[in-house]
Structure 1
Amino acid sequence: MNRNDNIRWYHPQISREDGEELLLNHPKKCNGLFLVRGSVSSPCDYALSVLYNNQVNNYQIRRHQEDAFFSIDECVKFHGLENLVNYYKKNPLSEGLVLTEHIEGSLPPHDSLRQGHTNLLHRATGRGAYTVVNELLRTDYHGSLAKDQNGQTAVHLAAIRGENEILSSLIHHSFNVNLRDAAGFTPLHYACEYNFPTTVRLLVKLGKANIQARNTDSGVVPLHVAASNGHKEVIKELLSLNAPVFPRTKEGYLPIELAKKNKHEECVMILKNYKAPEPKMKRSEFYHGTLGRQEAEALIRKNNPQNGTFLVRFSERNNESILTLFHEDKIFNYIIQKKDGFLFIDDGPLLKSLEHVVDYYKYLRDGLPTVLLNPIPPKPKPTVPPISTLKKKNQKLSKPLLQLPQPPYSDALMNIQFKSDFSSFNNNNNNNIKEKEDNLISASRLSLGVLIGKGEFASVFRGTLHNHDGTETQVAIKTLREEQLDNKESFLAEARVMTKLNHHCIVKLLGICMGPSLQMVQELVPLGSILQYIDAHSAEINPNCEFEIWAGQIACGMQYLEENRLVHRDLAARNILLASKWEAKISDFGLSKALGSGNEYYKASQGGKWPLKWYAPESYNYGHFSNKSDVWSFGITIWEMYSFGATPYGDKKGAEAITLIDRGERLERPEKCPQYIYDIMLRCWALDKDDRPSFQELLNFFMSESQYTNITELLSETT
């Protein structure tokens, strides 16, 4: 019996019912009697029908991607239907059920087999006999099997020889260019190995060859083959056809690593200097930010999805972005993983951004059940308006109530709103304090308590202020080192301005005590800085809740300073204090200066220890400080929050950070920071100060963005 007889178990034109009847009434009628038929429900798949104990068992045989790989119930994958059948002749499909005899039928389709026999078409192609090949194709001759003993089709042989005319004819007659041979290689692999750039282009452009086809054993793709062999023109051709530059083998090797290993320096430089084209899709078309799996799947089904409908979301549970994809009434979720600053799905290539990931899978399935076709856009995120559309300075801001997140937030948060007007709320508890015109407080009215903070310019103590009516107020007392004060009179003049400030998002300066040491008496803010709070409660913080509220309150306080022509000069997370979990206040105006009329910036005349990592370029270069340099510092401050207290620029010194900034580099997006928040940071760090948003704009953005709009109700619920 020859090999062809062993695989004539295929019955193409037979239904499930007819197959069962044929098995039940066949003369052989033994356990394990079987046939393979085409699947009626899925045209590209097959079905296996097996007789066992006078009953017929039916198994769906699934094809994987476009090639001859098959499995039953997604278990072991087999290259070629003949290998699947042979496997289950030795291994049971279920207890006691193995394949034995088959009902004689026809040969399976050539593209379903791993190996076959050499035929006339193989021989003509192997000799480069274009006329003979054309004559065979004209008479519709395809031979008994389209694969030879090496599992290679005529397309393989044409690619190995670079026979482009023959290859064009084969493609014109619909020959499959993506079949793998017994060694696991496609024709495109061989065109790359034998250095035929024009054949590569022909296969990809005319034949629609899969540019990312992987070898079944090693995971090598065509670009790996070209790089490993040093074929620079083939590399250029593949890259021009949008092959990703960083595919990985099963062992994790990149093409550039194989080129280095084999000392192909020109190929290394081509790969190193390659710039991927800009993606065609924008993040705003598919990215939803934080969204749970059930919410995402419900959103997709709500939109009457077709195959290829998708969205990308951020999963707080996985701390990763997730691709959620609809195909054949099923929804698939793929984690978009991170490696060395790149993104990837499963064993896919390393890609530069989410936009590049989506762009890649729009054109190639590469392991997904389908390509990405129909993005579901998110509800539009509020954005900072351009400067040309700024609201008038005193225009009142408003925002509709947004849907709140689900638990773990408590029921007490469900009716919260976040107002930009907090004038009715005052947590200073200083109504009983009789303030004099000069805001001076005598030392006899102060009792110093425990030390709660210490810095370069001052030490801070918890203390008690004894009011004129006999009551007491808990305060913070900042004792200043007089050697740090260049001009006491100038400082006192500034302090008088500061005591007039009255805003819910700014630590209230109650007055000045002149001696024996100079002391600033301030509202007591009990929870300390947000850095201290983050360090102690990081596991409890949701960046989309607390951080957005704090950012909005900082912007609100800084907008108040902006209106009053004051600059802070030391805005940083260490100088943002928390009166409660939901109430941030700006502190430490020791370096603030009142702007004179007509001046848009304050120029520092003295040097000193400046916090350079928080400073705008015009500040560290020229000593110029303005509300726009404070905006730069605001960007650094919220970066500190979203990075959960990390130091800007890491261990780099201030001068090293300046070098990075001057050459156009900026802090990277923290993992927990949504892209739309990072976009605001980048605007704050614009080199030209006129390109930075005002605090009015930032306030408008965060008031619109926050899911919490009534801080007064929140505070009443939590106190």
Structure 2
Amino acid sequence: MYPRAILKDTLYKKSQQKRRTSPCNYKERIFVLNTQDLTYFENRPGKKPTQKGCIELSHIKCVEIVRSDVPIPCNYKYPFQVAHDSYYLYVFAPNNDCRLKWVRALKEATQCNTLFMKYHPDFWGEGKWRCCHQTDKLATGCSEYYPNGAKPLPPTPDPKHRYIDSEERIVVALRNFNPEEDSDLPLHKDEEYVVVDSSEPNWWTVRDKNGNVGPVPCIYIAEKMSNNIDKFEWYNKDMTRTEAEELLMRENKDGGFMVRDSRHAGVYTVSIFTRASGSDGEKYPLVKHYQIKETEGENVKYYLAEKYVFSSIPELIRYHQHNSAGLITRLRHCVSRNIQYSSRINELSSEKWEIYSEELILSEELGSGQFGLVWKGCWHEKQVAVKTVREGFMSEEEFKEEAHIMMKLSHTKLVQLYGVVTQRSPMYLVFEFMEYGCLTDFLRAKKGCLSQEVLLAMCLDVSEGMAYLESSNFIHRDLAARNCLVSKDHVVKISDFGMTRFVLDDQYTSSFGTKFPVRWSSPEVIRFGKYSSKSDVWSFGVLIWEVYSEGRMPYDNRSNSEVVETLSAGLRLLRPRLCPQSVYELMQWSWKEKPDDRPSFALLLHELACLDQDP
């Protein structure tokens, strides 16, 4: 009797590179999972498929999704891995649903395999594991693998040391999290969880109120804070107003801030330095002082701007580090008489991200923007784009801000950051090289040559990247065709994250006087400086218009002030000649006056994907 087939699909496989000198390639194979083994075949049209490999299920030690930020060179972009014997088989699925279907089926088929192991969550490449940088291909993995999703309890503590550290770390869920993997723990907004393991930089293991344990993404949680502020580096005890102003002026960092004691006992003040000039009549640079106020009643809360109240002062500070929300600028850089180096700078120059300048060869200038220059370069025999700050146009701290954001983001439709050069001035950001450059220029150069399928695929690429940003609590704030790049395979990726912000409540209010791109901006941004994922949706509607207009400037016959008048009158951009009515309806949906009436990126991605599948 033949073994029963469980799953069958056409997927891609990567060569296992059993020898260091083996070439890396990607081949389409028919994969068949049955009750005894995992087999893959080469499809030969008109002939019987040829078996190219077979793995007995009893030999499989690990099946997991591959978490990686490297570009995927084959057509299928969703990798998972099957570890067996001493090898890793990397398989690539066409979409995430297909990948999850295979991972779950393989885990279920191998659940009786009792061997636990550590595995590598990222790829092997260029002579080392990308996740842990070990250079031995047979090196023990760096992450624990638990096939049934239930991690074993930690060893019982030694009674002698049981009460040495009795303080539990509590985190609060910032939003709901629905896991894609069985081993991950779901999160419910505002509920509390106990931290079990925080050694992984991006995923912490926590315990919920029912005793369930599992990993959760760090960007979805925040530590519950008490009102004890003595331990925070931003608190400057016994510092006077004059001393604070002198220190902040000397540091000269836009958004530099500290919390200090006010003249009244038990009251605290936030002092902020800004260089940005506005039209409010004040002289710049200056230091502004905001008293932390308390609400009345038993359940005391704290605020700087009345709409934004918090249970503790640390929570208030953490919020305003991401959102100015009524302040002259957001709290960007902690300043203290005890701090010599910013932790953000230390993170930038960490071993994982630092590239030595002698490894880079710059060849030609690709372009220049308002703030920086972009060069074509070579790094480890790989073409790269090197971005550097233009002296006098952008502070190095703002430049580091963009690098810091890019380190948190990883998606196939976002331009990938390879690393940074911090040990020289000016600092470099090293990105993947996109052969066809800016989307606007590409559309204009190919005018009349791009099919409807290609135009729609470009919009799909951008919506996929923006859906990822939306799900990760990031707002781009400068989405436009000029800030997207095109690869040699005509894949469009989002770039230029200089204005991107991480938000805790899907809302960001810019500082007074902040510049913004009027032609891509929603009414609430123009009137109030209020950004959200829904203001990004408005900008995406304009980007779709740019794509189907083959690179035309939006409202090209109007000035910025006339654009504002046009929007205030309820008028919108007209349907481009090449644009199908169904796509124009999505644009109009993106341009609804009220943000809540606009779709999410997840919904836009779904609608565009349905259009892509229509005959």
- TM-score above 0.5: no
| TM-score, reference length from structure 1 | 0.37
Q: Tell which structure's C-alpha radius of gyration is larger.
A: 1
Higher helix share: 1
| TM-score, reference length from structure 2 | 0.43
